[in-house]
Amino acid sequence: MFNPINLEIFNNLFSTICEEMGVVLCRSSFSTNIKERKDFSCALFDHSGEMVAQAEHLPVHLASMSMSVEWAIKTVEMSEGDAVILNDPFQGGTHLPDITLVTPFFYSGSKKPVFYIANRAHHSDVGGMSPGSMCNATEIYQEGIRIPPVKIVKGNTINREIMSIITSNVRTPEEREWDITAQISANTIGKQRLSELCEKYGKGEVVKYSSELQGYSARIMKSVIKKIPDGEYSFSDYLDDDGMVHKPVRIKVCVTVKGSSVSVDFSDSSRQVDGCVNAVYAVTVSCVFYVFRCLVENDIPSNAGCMRPVSITAPEGSVVNAKVPGAVSGGNVETSQRIVDVVFGALSKAIPNRVPAASSGTMNNIAIGGYDKLKESHFTYYETIGGGMGARSNLDGISAIHTHMTNTLNTPVESLEHNYPFRISQYKIRPRSGGMGKYNGGDGIIRDYEFFQPATVSILSDRRKHAPYGLRGGKKGQVGQNTLLSKGRKHKLPSKATINVSSGDIISIHTPGGGGYGREKVKSD
Query: How many residues are recorded in the chain?
Result: 525
Q: Are 179 and 121 in contact (CB under 8 A)?
A: yes
Instruction: Show the DSSP H helices in 382-456 as ranges.
Output: 413-419
Q: Which has more pLDDT, 520 or 487? A: 487
Q: Are 165 and 176 in contact (CB under 8 A)?
A: no
Query: What does the alpha-carbon distance between residue 255 and residue 244 come to, in Å, rounded to a whole number?
Result: 30
17, β-bridge pairs: none
Residue 521: pLDDT over 80? no
What is the average pLDDT across 414-423? 96
Residue 362: pLDDT over 70? yes
Query: What does the alpha-carbon distance between residue 212 and residue 216 come to, in Å, rounded to a whole number?
Result: 6
Query: What does the alpha-carbon distance between residue 244 and residue 49 come to, in Å, rounded to a whole number?
Result: 37
Residue 523: pLDDT over 60? no
For residue 504, the 8-state DSSP code is T
Query: What does the alpha-carbon distance between residue 121 and residue 180 come to, in Å, rounded to a whole number?
Result: 9
Q: Are 70 and 128 in contact (CB under 8 A)?
A: no
- pTM, entire model: 0.96
What is the average pLDDT across 172-191? 98
What is the pLDDT confidence band of residue 251, given thresholds at 50, 70 and 90? very high
Calculate what percentage of the chain has a pLDDT beyond 70: 99
Task: Report the mean per-residue pLDDT for the chain.
Answer: 96
pLDDT at 411: 92
Nearest to 283 by CA among 102, 66, 33, 22: 66
Q: Are 334 and 346 in contact (CB under 8 A)?
A: no
pLDDT at 299: 84
179, β-bridge pairs: none
Q: Are 463 and 457 in contact (CB under 8 A)?
A: no
What is the average pLDDT across 480-484? 98
Q: Are 248 and 238 in contact (CB under 8 A)?
A: yes
Residue 511: pLDDT over 50? yes
What is the average pLDDT across 459-464? 98
Calculate what percentage of the chain has a pLDDT beyond 90: 94
What is the average pLDDT across 389-411? 95
Residue 525: pLDDT over 50? no
Q: Tens of pLDDT along 206-250? A: 999 999 999 999 999 999 999 999 999 999 999 999 999 999 999
Q: Tens of pLDDT along 98-126? A: 999 999 999 998 999 999 999 999 999 99
For residue 443, the 8-state DSSP code is P
What is the pLDDT confidence band of residue 485, given thresholds at 50, 70 and 90? very high
> What is the DSSP code string of 136-171?
--SSGGGS-----SEEEEETTEE-HHHHHHHHTTSS
CA 336 to chain CA centroid, Å, is 8
